[in-house]
Amino acid sequence: MHDSTPDLWDRALGAYLGFAIGDALGATVEFMRPREIAQAYGVHRDMIGGGWLKLPVGQVTDDTTMSLALGDALLAGGTAALQGFVANGDKALLHSIGDSYVRWLKGKPVDCGNTCRRGIQRYLREGTLEGLYNPGDGGNGALMRNMPAVFATLGHDTAFEKLSMAQARLTHHHPFSDSATVGLGQLLRLLLQGTVHAASQQWIAQWVDANAVFRFTPYKDRATAYVVDTVQTVLHYFSLHEGFEAAMIATVNQGDDADTTGALLGMLAGARCGAAQLPRRWLERLQPATVQAITVQTRGLLALSHALKNLPQHPHEGEPHHAPV
């Protein structure tokens, strides 16, 4: 930890707001090829809405609203539900999360991925907390919404892994979705601690060695919603550019699933730089209600993580407890 790094609150808020920025910015060019983006915008760098969803300026999509749905369920369950899940395997929290995804879907979100929709409909029909392994479940939908689970379990390794996996499996049952959700969650946790760039790069190199499917050098120029392409794109541009703005512009101009790669890049790069360093011209264009919801959730989820303080830790636990917020 360095004195000059932003504190946990600023980094966590930076991650969530950075995620929303990437979602709103990337949505303009979602499903476009890099050449099409170049023809239409030169370099796409302004939050102007539009895109295939015909969005108003500064509106986020399913990436952010589904994350908020997860955060809502965690906050509504509070200390008791989280402790019950972590200490006793109590399933009430997972049903609240499933119910929250159902409410989200019934609220007619501006977009919803096929695997998310299928999983939510299965939960609604059968009440089951996961489906069978499905080779078609390798999309990025479970990964994309996991940040609130990371915040709520900060400082507790096993709680982080259990909650991340369980919320992911509600809709996606695929080993690459599982490993991407846990892997990017672990990287986010490191960044929230104030890990410097060189150390995060070392962590990424080791993680990619252990999870070779996500190896991103040489970069393959594919940014689809297949979780492997998504993770490779995000890690490639996160590693290439130390600044938030440069990394974000490079990521969304890769096109394809640009709102989701932009959101995940924004999460990591926003945690790295902190909310105070996010580009104002993007932040100011986000819809105020989104900024408000993210701010309230970040505060609540970090506070919720204190519920786990006195529960037994994983033996390999090496994280210091974070400061109260």
Sites of contact with Mn ion (CB under 5 A): 61-63, 111, 257, 259-260
Residue with nearest beta carbon to Mn ion: 61
Of the pair 111, 319, the CB lying nearest Mn ion is at: 111
Query: Cα separation of 72 and 316, whole Å?
Result: 30
Q: Closest separation between CB of residue 113 and Mn ion, Å?
A: 7
Q: Closest separation between CB of residue 53 and Mn ion, Å?
A: 8
Q: Closest separation between CB of residue 226 and Mn ion, Å?
A: 12
Q: Cα separations (Å) of 49 from 82, 188, 255, 291? A: 37, 27, 15, 16
Q: Closest separation between CB of residue 141 and Mn ion, Å?
A: 9
Contact (Cβ atoms closer than 8 angstroms) between residue 111 and residue 61: yes
Query: Cα separation of 81 and 73, whole Å?
Result: 10
Of the pair 140, 193, the CB lying nearest Mn ion is at: 140
Of the pair 10, 257, the CB lying nearest Mn ion is at: 257
The token pair at 111 is 């977009």
Query: Cα separation of 157 and 83, whole Å?
Result: 14
Of the pair 86, 252, the CB lying nearest Mn ion is at: 252
Q: Closest separation between CB of residue 259 and Mn ion, Å?
A: 4
Contact (Cβ atoms closer than 8 angstroms) between residue 290 and residue 56: no
Query: Cα separation of 7 and 234, whole Å?
Result: 24
Of the pair 52, 205, the CB lying nearest Mn ion is at: 52
Contact (Cβ atoms closer than 8 angstroms) between residue 299 and residue 47: no
